[in-house]
Structure 1
């Protein structure tokens, strides 16, 4: 008896996750249900509902995007073409986020303006039932209380963009105040002839004060913890690994330098030797003013350096 499409999908996806060493916990933690997709659309309200009972989590994301899914087949097509790849200001690129979530779920359903699809152990069931606007993705999956709490905390770290109301379990996540914004030429990825290619582009970068762990964000979506005095939110697509939780070290070094160029006046003597500042001052993007200010704080204004060419 031939395998059902859903069984084949799960089998292919398990091979893919093994190939890229993608852990189930990473999918849960990154909340790929997937609110970042809603943020790329003309959405004014996005609602995330999360409930846990007896090691089973029920999670749903609902938005009011007028169009909903552009193509309902995107719900079950791995790496399908997407218009987002040509626009570096869109968060999506791999068209795989919700598929990752569905592959580990006991049940899942997608309701949108183009129709409804329900996934369970028996396979995929499609219906013509449609929403007037927006989409709603609902899943149930096994999850420990610790995993659930981590996922919920992660969702609350999102930086809500202007013009969007984001609610988590009915409570609005307030927009955080931006401390500074500056422009920088940073590496990004744009589709060219159906291939994602790396290029450089001038973009806005927002930095936010934080008393907790610092994060690198991609247009409001937390990507990874960083060793920095600020949260850093890049307003364009950043070069990510396929699992979306790491960036190349050289990219971080450039970013640290650009951040330090606009914050060196606020760095204390005590913090002037922090690792991120050392990486920033070693990068060619660092400004002369920042170098002078940091070395003065680290060594004092009457510092003396040995001349390697002095033969005396």
Structure 2
């Protein structure tokens, strides 16, 4: 797919994050193609939301850079950051400023429509865009209700609808699998694809839902132990992976060094020296892997000894 005029390009370069005493990300690198749907796939608590907060200017990384359209987000002035955020529609997990996008004084319909009204759309244009999407998302029955009167999962779908009708060049959707029940998965996949194809927006999504990632993504990046260990088209990257257990087995092999160590992460931040990742046998490493490694060492030692003996005779 060719890049789209106006679509946003994202670069994470050597991003390292330590929150309190906990290392979260370590020298993470990822280029997000503009005008495509990219899914960051990873288990709960692996740092997906943290990475998106770096991108939208809510949380500075400990090290590295986050570039949006070639500009380091964390080198922008306050005014430039406000301007950059003006081109982002975001739905993030947890507590954050974007929660205020659901206005308690507006009903559900007006909450979805407000981004279009701010852009100068007429009532007819607003209705033509908003009503079909609300119907697809199971929100039509709540159109006249206020946010506090509807279930939490429905409020998340309102935020998703709001982001998808916004027309922004960058749409950031965090933990999408927690935002809707299975009845609306297909509708949300179709809506994301439609926005990407028609507006050629860059869409960056985080999830741990394998099926959803397969359905919606052009590219999948796997976040594991604080870094991207693999990325590529979902039909290649996730071939034969159907369960969380299979996902863990496949991508565990991409990072045999195991979970992050705080000393290693902080060592990489001092003096600009590359961090050394000391090899250690991870306690979760399958027994047969350990046995195979030991056998290789024994064979190597024997072969070296034999070569010395034969060479000296």
TM-score (norm 2): 0.27
Higher strand share: 1
TM-score (norm 1): 0.27
Higher helix share: 2
